[in-house]
Amino acid sequence: MTSTARKFNPGLSRGLQYYILLHYLLTLGGSAAFLFNEGSLGLGLKALLGGLVLLAVLSLGLLMERPAWAFYLEGWRLLLTVAVLLQVLALPGLIWAAAAYVLISWGWLWWLRGSVGAAEGLATHS
């Protein structure tokens, strides 16, 4: 029996590929910092930071699959991540870097909003 299936090819724009790569690298760096310092953290903070890492990986993965709501999830993830890190790190001056990070990322997402939506070229199951 011969079955024909189309290969999964979400056809991501170059800008979206760079956005996802940059944020995966930031997530990787944040995960490494979390793991190197986990011995000095309380259980609640470990759960919160681990949840943020999980949310980042989920959100960025969904941007690659491009459901219509992935754009909004990523925007909320950015805001939540910065809010938690500002509270946890409590470093003066960090608020400006965090604000710049969120504004630049939101601007980049807004610019890419046409690239995030219903994906074409998804494999069909018959």
State the pLDDT at residue 26: 93
Range of 62-71, 74-83, 93-102 with top mean pLDDT: 74-83
Confidence of residue 85 (pLDDT cuts 50, 70, 90): confident
pTM value?
A: 0.77
- Report the range of poorest mean pLDDT among 15-19, 62-66, 81-85, 110-114: 110-114
Q: How many domains does the chain have?
A: 1
Burial of 75 (0-12, 13-18, 19+ CB in 10 A): middle
Residue 118 counted as domain residue:
no
2 within a domain of the structure (yes/no): no
Query: What is the domain range of residue 93?
Result: 14-112
| Of 116, 89, 83, the residue nearest 102 (C-alpha) | 83
CA of residue 63 relative to chain centroid, distance: 8
Please report whether residue 8 resides in a domain: no
Assigned domain for 42 exists: yes
User: In the numeric block, which tokens belong to residue 54?
Assistant: 């999980």
